[in-house]
Structure 1
Amino acid sequence: MSPATPVICPFCYLGLRKLQKALSTSPHISPSPSSSSSSPSPTAFFQPPSIRFLPYELDPTLPSDHAVPKRERYIAKFGGDAARTSAMESMMKANGEREGIKFDYGGNIRNTLLSHRLMERAFAGPKGHNDSEGAGWETQLALLDKLFPHFFEHRGDPGDPAALARIAVEASVFPSEDEALKFLTESDEYGPEVQEGIQDARRKGITGVPHFEIFAGGSKEGKETVVKAEIPGAQDADTFVAVFRQLAEAYQRANGGSKGDEVEKVAPGTSAGAKC
């Protein structure tokens, strides 16, 4: 599963929480790390997914060397309309409460490239590491689970190196804040990979986030089968569960044929979910 997820998009935070709820309730996702069944069944035959969070630059005009007030930035985005901004804040706070999120629109905002580099480091590990899988998706998820509340609930600066270094240690991305700070301020490690990821999203035509790409599959009798769905926007948990069901059905159909089946851009209802 590959969501494009910048840390300053409120709908990405909502989308992650809804996805996590869906993964814990879907009858098509096994609750255990592995399945004892050797063949697909109508329910619970997909193992829990690995989630690879991909970079997406929501606002490249944000400064990187200093922070600006978050609320002022939103007002400017809405053409100077403070009333419209206030209505948006009220709507997001209500949406957040339903998912256990306490949105706070105070605090500052700045460029997110540092956080994207940190997310890449969390996934891949240090450059030249013998383990090609690095720290892995679980460390990346642990980091994102701290970055979102830092910015959206605790008025944290999403591009402050010192704050990011502290969070990186809390999420076990680095053993010490000094090492994390050195990575953030004295190198551009994973900078090219972040830029390539941003360009890749553009090549795919992704113009808003969150955007979820879901791949599922496996091998049976020597045949590799992969089914795919794309979900734009922060959909409800029930929508994700429905898509998991569609993927399960497509996987079973594919295993009855001569080649893999692909579910392209499964429609999650009549319209895309809310996105930044």
Structure 2
Amino acid sequence: MSTLHAILFAIMQGISELFPVSSLGHGVVLPDLLHWGLNRQDPSFLAFMVTLHLGTALALLIYFHRDWLDLIGGFVRAGGRPVNPESRLVWLLIGGTIPAGLLGLLLEKKLRGLFGSTTLVLAVLIVNGIILIAGDMLRHNGRGRTLDELSFFGALKIGLVQALALIPGISRSGVTLIAGLHEGLSYAASARFAFLLATPIIGAAGVLEVPKLLQHGSQISIGLALGCGLLSGVFAYLSTWVLMRYFNKHEIQALRPFGWYCIGLGLLGLLLRLL
């Protein structure tokens, strides 16, 4: 991977990780369509992508640092019991993290094989777009609930849906947002929960994968990888800033533009592969 490609990859990752358009899908599709000639089967490729994810996790921690300080403080004051809103939300996040974490560990090797098929990822991107549009249309009418009203079972369901993002082409933020909406949350509350939920799972993936980058540093130097991780974090922070304001202002049809984008990119990619 050239330095220019690594930098462009980092920018793309920072934007697409939090926008509901699938960063993994874009990480497979765009380099292939642009003929970058990346070896996605090299062990360092996934490790490099996860290094970019670490930048995203850092950006989320910085953006929501006050939330995390309040959550940790409330959890400590409650002695770990869900007796205040902050401690209760910590337990909701733990419950939402468990399904994706377990499934990721169990299915990691099988899911790695999906990175090799651009055609499959393009098809899944179209499915992601349909999910966003259909989920937005079929959301519960009783919208506007806050996270204080989310049940533990509801958080567990959102976490289970989040596990779909292990498939390249399915957006983590997109499916968790849809799941939150169908638990009756507002767009803003669902987005906040989705972004808070993404932080531990992305961070944990980085802890597991970065050592592999150190071991298999064949495509990119460690210094460039870390620099790209920071660049990805900058764009992830800007993306979070934009999206939180967007979802605060839009309480209807907010996910449909992203859905149509995914469908359009998927169809265009499939068409180009046929020509």
Identify the TM-score tier after normalising by the shorter chain.
under 0.3
TM-score normalized by the length of structure 2: 0.27
Larger Rg: 1
Q: Counting helix residues as a fraction of each chain, which structure ranks higher?
A: 2
Task: Name the one with the larger strand percent.
Answer: 1
Which structure ranks higher in relative contact order (CA pairs < 8 Å, sequence separation ≥ 6)? 2
Normalising by structure 1, what TM-score? 0.27
